[in-house]
Amino acid sequence: MWYKDTLVERFLKYTAISSQSNSEEKILPSSSGQMELAEVLKKELEKMNLSDIKLTENAILTARLKGTDTSFPTVGFITHLDTFDGGFSPDVKAQIKKFTGSDILLNEKEKIFLTIEENPEILKYLDEDILVTDGTSVLGADDKAAVAVVMMSLEYLIKEKPEHGDIVVAFVPDEEIGLRGAKALNLDDFKADFAYTLDCCELGEVTCDNINSASCIVNIEGVVAHSMSTKSDRVNPILVAVDLINRIETNDNPKEREAMFNIREFSGGVRNSRIRVAIGSFDKVEFQQQKDLITRHLKDLQDLYPKAKISYEIFDNFLNMKDGIGDKTHSVDLIYACMEKLHITPKTISMRGGTDGSDISNRGIPTPNYFTGAHNFHSNFEFLPISSFIKAFELTIEIIKSANQNINKKD
Local confidence pLDDT in tens for the 411 residues of the chain: 789 999 999 999 999 999 999 999 999 999 999 999 999 999 999 999 999 999 999 999 999 999 999 999 999 999 999 999 999 999 999 999 999 999 999 999 999 999 999 999 999 999 999 999 999 999 999 999 999 999 999 999 999 999 999 999 999 999 999 999 999 999 999 999 999 999 999 999 999 999 999 999 999 999 987 666 555 678 999 999 999 999 998 888 888 899 999 999 999 999 999 999 999 999 999 999 999 999 999 999 999 999 999 999 999 999 999 999 999 999 999 999 999 999 999 999 999 999 999 999 999 999 999 999 999 999 999 999 999 999 999 999 999 999 998 776 544
**Euclidean distance between CA atoms 204 and 257, whole angstroms:** 20
Q: What is the pLDDT of residue 334?
A: 98
Range of the domain at 380: 3-210+320-402
Q: What is the pLDDT of residue 411?
A: 45
Q: Is 218 found in the same domain as 200? A: no
Q: Is 204 found in the same domain as 164? A: yes
Q: Is 82 one of the catalytic residues?
A: yes
Which CATH number is 313's domain given? 3.30.70.360
Is 10 inside any structural domain?
Answer: yes
Q: Is 287 found in the same domain as 171? A: no
Catalytic annotation, pick one of 134, 175, 202, 398 = 175
Is 329 inside any structural domain?
Answer: yes
First to last CA, the chain: 34
Q: Which residues pair with 385 in a beta bridge?
A: 130
Q: Is 101 found in the same domain as 223? A: no
Q: What is the pLDDT of residue 132?
A: 98
Q: Which residues pair with 213 in a beta bridge?
A: 280, 318
Q: Is 253 found in the same domain as 384? A: no
Q: Is 339 found in the same domain as 281? A: no
Question: What is the number of helices (H) and of strands (E) in the chain?
Answer: 10, 17
Q: Is 80 found in the same domain as 117? A: yes
Q: Is 217 found in the same domain as 202? A: no
Among the three residues 318, 345, 373, which one is the final residue of a domain in this structure? 318
Q: Is 363 found in the same domain as 328? A: yes
* Residues with Cβ within 8 Å of residue 171, at least 6 apart in sequence: 37, 38, 41, 60, 61, 62, 78, 79, 80, 81, 147, 150
Q: What is the pLDDT of residue 346?
A: 98
Q: What is the pLDDT of residue 226?
A: 64
Cα 7 from chain centroid? 21
Asked if 301 contacts 240 with a C-beta cutoff of 8 angstroms, the reply is yes
Q: Is 239 found in the same domain as 206? A: no
Q: Which of 273, 288, 266 is nearest to 214 (CA)?
A: 288
Q: Is 274 found in the same domain as 264? A: yes
Fill in the DSSP letter of residue 82: -
Q: What is the pLDDT of residue 409?
A: 55
Is 408 inside any structural domain?
Answer: no
Q: Is 163 found in the same domain as 52? A: yes
Q: Report phi then psi at 205, rounded to 5.
A: -70, 135
* Residues with Cβ within 8 Å of residue 235, at least 6 apart in sequence: 222, 223, 305, 307, 308
